[in-house]
Structure 1
Amino acid sequence: MNVKFLNPFLEATAEVVKTETGYDLKRGDLKLEEKPYSTGEVTTIIAMVGGVEGNVFISMSRDTALQLATRMMREKFDEFDGLAQSGIAELGNVITGRASVKLSATGYEATISPPTMLMGAGAVISTLDFHRLVVPFYAECGEIVIHLALREGRSSAVNAAQIPVPRRPSL
C-alpha cells in the first residue's frame, strides 16, 4: 500500500461524513494488515482502476449504519432495509469518489466501480498480494473503519489507441 494514497481518503472521509451527517470524526491509529479481511456487519466495497488500483472497504456495525442512514436521509431507520442500504452504499461511493478527485489532483487518476454492499459479519475477503492500510474513525454514532488495499496502477494516460494490436500475418 502506497502511503501517498492515504491522505486523500482521510480528508474525504472526514469531509463527506461531516457534510452528509453532521458527525465529526476522530481518527484512530493506523495499522497495516497482510492477512485476509474479515468483514464487519455492514461493508461497502468499491474497486478502483487506473492510476490507482485495488479495493476500498468501508466497514461498520449495523447500528452505526442505521444512525448514519437516519442522519443522511432525515428519516428514522429501525431496519437496515433497501433505502438504508442505498444510503450507506452512496456514502461509500461519495467518499471514494471524493478521494479519487483528490488523487487526480496529485497525478493519480482512477475510476471507481459502483458500490457493492456486503451484509453480515465474518465473510473473509482475500486481497491477495495487496496489503491493507486500516484506518478506524470514531464518531458519536460509532466506529467506521476504512480498509485501503490499493497500489499504483497503469498510468491513466494510456488509452486503447496507444496499445499496440498484434497484426495477423498475411498469406
Structure 2
Amino acid sequence: MQVKAEFVNPFLVSASQVLQTETGTEVTQGQVRLEESPLESDEVTVLIGVVGRAQGLVLYGMTEQTACNLVSAMTGETIAEFDAMCESAVAELGNVITGLASGELEAAGYPCKIAPPSVVVGKGTSISTLSIKRLVIPLETSLGSITVHVALRETY
C-alpha cells in the first residue's frame, strides 16, 4: 500500500516547530525518500501508532547522544546519559510532534487519534510497518540528527 505524500508536510512542519520551540535549535530538512518495510531501529526509536482516516505508525529515530542533547536543551540541565527520565522526555517530544501533526491531518480531512508513545532502545531491531511504505524525513539540528518515518495509509 502506498503512503500519501500529503502525510509528510504535517510532520515536517510540526517537528520543525516543536523542536525549535522546545530546544531553541533550527531544523534543516534532508531529502525525503520512500522506503520499504522493515526499518532498522536507531539507538533510540520512538514509535507512535495512529488510527482513524490515516492509520499506521510514525517513528522518530536518533542516537542516545542526540536524545541527551535534546533533553538537555529542553530542561536547561546537562543530561550526560540516556536514562529513564531522558527516555520519557524523548517519548513526550515525539508525542507532542505527532499530536500537532494529527491536528494538521484532521484539518486536511484525515481525522485520526494517536496512541501513547513506545520507545525502542538499542540499535538494529527490525520494526515492520507491514504493507505500508515509509516516507523517511531526515532532520538535522545543532543537537544531532533525527529521522522521522511516516508509515501511514488512508482508510475509508
- Please report the TM-score for the alignment, with normalisation by the length of structure 2: 0.96
| Unpaired runs of at least 5, structure 2 | none
Q: Which residue of 22, 25, 30 corresponds with 1:23? A: 25
Which letter does structure 1 place at the counterpart of 2:148?
Answer: I
In structure 1, the residue matched to 2:92 is 90
Q: Which residue of 136, 139, 156 corresponds with 1:137? A: 139
Identify which of structures 1 and 2 has the higher relative contact order when contacts are C-alpha pairs closer than 8 Å and 6+ apart. Answer: 2
Q: How many residues align?
A: 154
State the 1:111 CA deviation.
Answer: 0.3
4+ residue runs over 4 A deviation: none
Which letter does structure 2 place at the counterpart of 1:12?
Answer: S
Give the whole-Å Cα distance in 1 for the aligned partners of 2:20 and 2:11.
14
State the 1:35 CA deviation.
Answer: 3.4
Give the whole-Å Cα distance in 2 for the aligned partners of 1:128 and 1:106.
25
Q: How does 1:156-167 map to 2 (within 5 A)?
A: none
Question: In percent, how many aligned pairs have the same letter?
Answer: 44
Q: Which has the larger radius of gyration?
A: 1
Give the whole-Å Cα distance in 1 for the aligned partners of 2:97 and 2:67.
15
Q: Does 1:12 align with 2:14?
A: yes
In structure 2, the residue matched to 1:78 is 80
Give a deviation string over 1:52-76, Cα, whole Å, max 9, x none: 1000000001100000011112221
Which letter does structure 1 place at the counterpart of 2:120?
Answer: L
State the 1:51 CA deviation.
Answer: 1.0
Q: Report the RMSD for the aligned CA atoms in angstroms.
A: 0.8
